[in-house]
Amino acid sequence: MENRAIFSGRLLPYLLILPQLAVSLIFFYWPAVQALQQSFLVQDAFGLSTEFVWFENYVELFKRPEYYQAIGVTFVFSALVAFFSLTLGLLLAAMANRNIAGVQVYRTFLIIPYAVAPAVASVLFIFMFQPGLGMIARAMQRNGIDWNPVLNGTQAMILVVIIAVWNQISYNFLFFLAGLQAIPKSVIEAAAIDGAKPMRRFWTIIFPLLSPTTFFLIVINITYVFFNTLGIIDTATGGGPNGATQTLVYKVFQDGKVGTDLGGSAAQSVILMVIVVALTAFQFRYVEKKVHY
């Protein structure tokens, strides 16, 4: 690197990075390599012999409709959560940015959902939406809506989306708020003098200047849905009914628990790894651009 002040030391630096490298190698790289390896193998029914089959496991995956369904579910789930959670987060941040009294109090409340584990959030909402018992479920029954996420796939999806959106509001709110506060006040004032009313200012000046934050949050929300919603799905719907809420990661989990197709499960993991790498690369390349001031 360019201009650093450094200490001399032959052994010390290696000692310092050893713990992290050790943990990374044992619990990260080794499993990743194993997954990769396993994805190219097929075991027989008794687990006695293994056979190297190139990409057959992958091909098999893409032949099965459940895999496509999982892709679709993940895609829809991500899109819905991203859209609603970002919109709500932005709306709340825009209001909180208006220099009104008591902003600290509002903010304190609004960051609570972040601290709640997805699985616990799920339990809170199950309590409200449980057919026959939950307040909201009964209110819906009273009004003629046939609410039963155990049987109705769309309703199951709606339920998990609601839970996930609730869980992510804080994150989006905080980042949007930071993004809004980073916009120099004078630019807004200049726009006001230039004849732009509040709504016009928002769409022509504020929203465009917020776009790095927005893109960043879209990636984060997608990552959240991909990887952090396992607790929600497991407690709320178990992936059902009929795979209606089974995301790609949940599918890996369920297939792995059953344990018969290790190769297929490993192949799924590898595919997910590729997706994450792509998402992360995308984030670092395109999202980390700074706005010029």
Partner 1 sequence: MVEHRRFGNLLPHLVLLAGVAIVAFPVYLAVIASTHDNTVIANGQMPLYPGSHGLETYWSTIVSGTGKTTRAPVGGMMLNSLIMAIGIAVGKIAISIISAYAIVFFSFPFRMTAFWTIFITLMLPVEVRIFPTYKITSDLHMLDSYAGLILPLIASATATLLFRQFFMTVPKELVEASKIDGAGPVRFFFDTLLPLSVTNIAALFVILFIYGWNQYLWPLLITTRDDMQTIVIGIKKIIDVHDALTEWQVAMATAVLAMLPPVAVVVLMQRLFVKGLIETEK
Partner 2 sequence: MANVALRDVRKTYPGGFEAIKGIDFDVGDGKFCVLVGPSGCGKSTLLRMVAGLETITGGEIDIGGRIVNQIEPAERDIAMVFQNYALYPHMSVYNNMAYGLRNRGMPGPEIESRVQEAARILEIGPMLERKPGQLSGGQRQRVAMGRAIVRQPKVFLFDEPLSNLDAKLRIAMRVEIRKLQRRLGTTSIYVTHDQLEAMTLADILVVMNGGHVEQIGNPLDIYQKPATTFVASFIGAPPMNLLPLRSDEIKSQIESGGHGAGEAGLLGIRPEDFVITSETVAGGVALNLTVEAIERVGAETFIYGSRRNETQGVAATPGELPPGEVIVRIPGAVAPAIGERIRAAAPREKLHLFSADGRKRIEL
The site partner of 258 among partner 1, partner 2, none (C-beta below 5 to 8 Å per kind) is: none
Using CB under 8 A as the binding rule, the residues of this chain from 82 to 101 that contact partner 1 are 88, 91-92, 95-96, 98, 100
CA distances from 11 to 4, 15, 17, 25, 238 (A): 19, 6, 11, 20, 51
Q: Whose Cβ is closer to partner 2: residue 142's or residue 197's? A: 197
CA 38 from chain center: how many Å?
27
- Closer to partner 1 at the Cβ: 157 or 255? 255
Binding mask of the shown chain, residues 25 to 44, with x at each position contacting partner 1 by CB under 8 A: -xxxxxxx-xx--x------
Classify residue 289 by its DSSP letter.
Answer: P
Q: DSSP label at 290?
A: P
For residues 183 and 76, give the distance between their C-alpha atoms in angstroms, rounded to a whole number.
Answer: 33
Distances (CA, A) of 79 to 18, 67, 92, 175, 287: 41, 18, 20, 19, 18
38: partner contacted, choices partner 2, partner 1, none (Cβ within 5-8 A by kind): partner 1
CB of 252 to partner 1, least distance (A): 7
**Shortest separation between residue 191's beta carbon and partner 2, angstroms:** 7
Q: Contact between 218 and partner 1 (CB under 8 A)?
A: no
Does 186 sit near partner 2 (CB under 8 A)? yes
From the list partner 1, partner 2, none, pick the one residue 66 interacts with, judged by a Cβ distance below 5 to 8 Å according to partner type: none
Residue 190 interacting entry, from partner 2, partner 1, none, C-beta within 5 to 8 Å by type: partner 2
Q: What gap in Å lies between CA 205 and CA 191, rounded to an integer?
A: 8
Member of 59, 151, 273, 291 binding partner 1 (CB under 8 A): 273
The secondary structure element, H or E, covering residue 50 is strand 50-52
Count of positions on this chain that bind partner 2 (CB under 8 A): 21
Distance of CA 43 to the CA centre of its chain: 33
Taking CB under 8 A as the criterion, the residue among 65, 132, 195, 259 binding partner 2 is 195
State which amino acid sits at residue 219. V
**DSSP symbol at 49:** -
106 binds, among partner 1, partner 2, none (CB under 5 to 8 A by kind): partner 1
Q: Is 291 in the site for partner 1 (CB under 8 A)?
A: no
Site for partner 1 contains 166 (CB under 8 A): yes
Q: Which is nearer to partner 2, 158 or 196 (CB)?
A: 196
Q: How far apart are CA 162 and CA 113, in angstroms?
A: 12
CA distance 236 to 156: 8
The interface partner of residue 115, options being partner 1, partner 2, none and the CB cut-off 5 to 8 Å by kind, is partner 1
Q: Are 267 and 61 in contact (CB under 8 A)?
A: yes
Question: Is there binding between residue 151 and partner 1 (CB under 8 A)?
Answer: no
Q: Based on the number of CB atoms within 10 Å of its own CB, is 70 exposed (0-12), middle (13-18) or buried (19 or more)?
A: buried
CA gap 250, 236 in Å, rounded = 13
Binding of partner 2 by 200 (CB under 8 A):
yes
Q: Tokens in use for 153?
A: 């796939």
- Residues making contact with partner 2 (CB under 8 A): 184, 186-187, 189-197, 200, 204-205, 208-209, 211, 291-293
